[in-house]
Structure 1
Amino acid sequence: MEVYVRIRGIDAPELKSKCDHLRREGLDAQQALETLAAASSRIQLTRISGDKYFGRIVADVILSDGRNAASNLLLAGLVQDYDGGRKPHRICNTD
């Protein structure tokens, strides 16, 4: 069974954004998460709940060494805090 997981507590730039810069930032966050996952022998989902979109869950993602994936992405500056409310507005930077 394949299940899509939204990581609790963070908001990453959208991969489908019309803005090239935001799409690149989203890809950077995705690559960082894939690197964390590949280096972890086990990934545990905790505090699992339903998401507002069908077929997706919200969960904490804990790596085999006990680190929280969301915290790592936040510390790296790749994502923003997200509390489930209105998403923060991201400005397209064309630098």
Structure 2
Amino acid sequence: MEVYVRIRGIDAPELRSKCLRIREAGLDAQHALEALTAKSRGIQLTRIAGDKYFGRIVADVKLLDGRSVADDLLLAGLVQTYDGGRKPREICPAD
């Protein structure tokens, strides 16, 4: 079974943004997540709940060594904190 998971507490740049720089930042976050999970023997989902959009679930995601995926991505500056509320309007950074 394949399940789409929103990581609780963070918001990554949109991969489908009209802005090239935002899409690139989204890819950077995606690649970092892939690298984190590839190095771990597994992941653990806790506090699983239904998400309000698209049939996903929202969960805390931890690596088997106990590290929080959200915390690692936040510390790397690849994502922002997110409390589930309304997101600010997307602004494309100047080149």
How many residues are aligned here? 95
RMSD: 1.0
What residue ranges of structure 1 are gaps of 5+ in the alignment?
none
How far apart, in 1, do the equivalents of 2:89 and 2:77 lie?
A: 16
Q: Which runs of 4+ in 1 moved over 3 A?
A: none
**TM-aligned CA distance change 1:54 to 1:90, over 3 Å:** closer
Equivalent position amino acid for 2:59 in 1 = A
The TM-score normalised by the length of structure 2 is: 0.95
**TM-aligned CA distance change 1:54 to 1:18, over 3 Å:** closer
Cα displacement string for residues 45-86 of structure 1 (whole angstroms, at most 9, x for unaligned residues): 000000012420000000011000000000000000000111
Give percent identity, aligned residues only. Answer: 75
What residue ranges of structure 2 are gaps of 5+ in the alignment?
none
Deviation at 1:88, TM superposition (A): 3.1
How far apart, in 1, do the equivalents of 2:27 and 2:54 lie?
A: 24
Deviation at 1:38, TM superposition (A): 0.1
Greater shift after overlay, 70-79 or 82-91?
A: 82-91
